Structure 1
């Protein structure tokens, strides 16, 4: 096993060696073999299982209550005392660091790096943090506008008794924060949550295999690693763990399906490339002409489950520790599920059920229509909703 993984790594760090090409992968006889049939069977089985999980659980009424995404979960921290600005700043810095590392790696080792799953994972992580930076920026701007509108509304009602209103500002801010978590999340918030779970699984698989299986063997042969090699295989998971420690995202188990589909897409990409070009394989076990390649395909497929489960356990542990040790500062998400509120708007902003696939198109368009409203109209509706939320009189 270690010999096979070391052969993989020799490709990855571009050791000075003679690369042996596999048999001609552009010929029909290469693909008409039992080895490819069993490899194809493993990929198809994974895709079918993942698709079934999405069909059964994504948007289903059975999981709606447990895994409903609240509006603030994409950009508000899990601790009330931590400002969303800190999470936004962290995501922006993480995006810049990962993008710089990726560019430096490609400049140093060439564009062939995009044949590797490691580089695919790095790009996926960059997309996640860029997406998160955008949502955090929009969320912070929205929070700022809502607080300003709420302050003006309070001043207009209290008149000359403004000092009394100021004394209760902290309480009002906390109550407004709970209102964010009481609103059903929008379409892009669900897409971001899916990216989070897909990225977490891919990072655990990539970095776990490298540090647990490849790195110990390299220490035996006294191989000197480059700085970029360490950065590419560690920076992504460190930044992702930092984001996980602060964010409020849940980690539903059935969304391992997106992680599986991501890996299946990579494998299919490699097959398509080798159908048209007879070139080297980035990982030896991907070569379907190898004797034990079908076994490796199934092993990698099974490895998705412990990798995803380990990260899910980290998320569960975080929420357990916060709820037990810091109950006053923890955003009580589960307690808000029973009393969640929805904005009194003319369009639905929840994640569409599988029966209403057209919602995937309608909701983003509705957001653009909504953005055309005047600021005064929007502020008045939001203030009315938040006032009702604070008073406890809003409709369930």
Structure 2
């Protein structure tokens, strides 16, 4: 099938573009951020860890359920929440205080960017494409949670945390669907015995290359949307946003106003 060669090329090309973007665009290094903006956020994150863990392990038939992008998404969100909770707990002594960013904090910020952006994509694709094509239109509470309620909880996380979405995350946003596409294709040929988790992934369809292209392109579009939300956050809640500083000058509470400038 000619579609196989086209889709293989698309996966390789998009993966290469993603790697290039990871190397080309880097998050700012000389910034301050709040690792523990409030104790409220710590409690909120701990609550979400329990809730998302119950949703993932209690209401999904793992490990088979990992064939679905939705469950990939939920798993990444749980990993982020656990990591963010531990990170904030370690920095609880500086609650409400800005400190210089570290490699870990920048990685955590990038991880959040991916989870936040992709959560909207999963919600849109499920309710706009997958659900209308289903024969059984029964709506289950867990489907609503994994394709909508989780987005609302992540927006709460975004409103309370000390992060903003970065364009430097573009590479990771592009690589994620490539990994999932390759995983689904390999699974179809091996352990899934010819099963495609989503109809639009089926490479036997002549329209499949268009579906793959559309899926790849909508990821950066959703990233642009979350970048817009970050601009609003910078305007309405500037105290929670990272701030650039001059590394040649001492950064102390006394001269914060002189040494830092908005990012």
- Whether these two folds match at TM > 0.5 is yes
Q: 1:81 maps to which residue? A: none
Q: 2:57 maps to which residue? A: 103
Contact 2:41 2:161 in 1 (8 A): yes
Say if 2:151 is the partner of 1:237: yes
Q: Secondary structure at the match of 2:59?
A: helix
Say if 2:194 is the partner of 1:279: yes
Q: 2:224 maps to which residue? A: 309
Find the partner of 1:76 among 36, 41, 47.
Answer: 36
* C-alpha displacement of 1:280: 1.1
CA distance in 1, matches of 2:71, 2:81: 15
* C-alpha displacement of 1:306: 1.8
Q: 2:107 maps to which residue? A: 191
* C-alpha displacement of 1:257: 1.2
More strand by share: 2
Find the partner of 1:227 among 121, 127, 141.
Answer: 141
Find the partner of 2:44 among 70, 83, 90.
Answer: 90
Q: 1:38 maps to which residue? A: 6
TM-score by length of 2: 0.86
After the TM superposition, which of the residue ranges 271-280 and 297-306 deviates more from structure 2? 271-280
Q: Call closer, same or farther: CA 1:250–1:35 in 2, change over 3 Å.
A: same
Q: Call closer, same or farther: CA 1:54–1:340 in 2, change over 3 Å.
A: same
Q: Which is higher, the Rg of structure 1 or of structure 2? A: 1
Contact 1:102 1:122 in 2 (8 A): yes
Please report the RMSD computed on the Cα atoms of aligned residues, expressed in angstroms: 2.8
* C-alpha displacement of 1:117: 0.3
Q: What are the within-5 Å matches in structure 2 for residues 1-396 of structure 1?
A: 33-58=1-26, 64=28, 68-70=30-32, 72-73=33-34, 75-77=35-37, 84-106=38-60, 109=61, 111-140=63-92, 142-143=93-94, 177=97, 180-181=98-99, 183=100, 185-215=101-131, 217=132, 223-277=137-191, 278-323=193-238, 330-331=239-240, 333-334=242-243, 337-339=244-246, 389-392=252-255
Q: CA deviation digits over 1:74-114, x for unaligned, max 9?
A: x233xxxxxx21111111111110111112222xx564321
Contact 1:95 1:130 in 2 (8 A): yes
TM-score by length of 1: 0.59
CA distance in 1, matches of 2:140, 2:39: 35
For structure 1, the 5+ residue unaligned runs are 1-32, 78-83, 145-173, 324-329, 343-384
Q: CA deviation digits over 1:107-155, x for unaligned, max 9?
A: xx56432110000000000001000000010010x427xxxxxxxxxxx
Q: CA deviation digits over 1:259-284, x for unaligned, max 9?
A: 22112111111122233343311012
Q: CA deviation digits over 1:306-327, x for unaligned, max 9?
A: 211112211211221235xxxx
Contact 1:87 1:247 in 2 (8 A): yes
Q: Secondary structure at the match of 1:241?
A: helix
**How many residue pairs are counted as aligned between the two chains?**
257
Contact 1:87 1:243 in 2 (8 A): yes
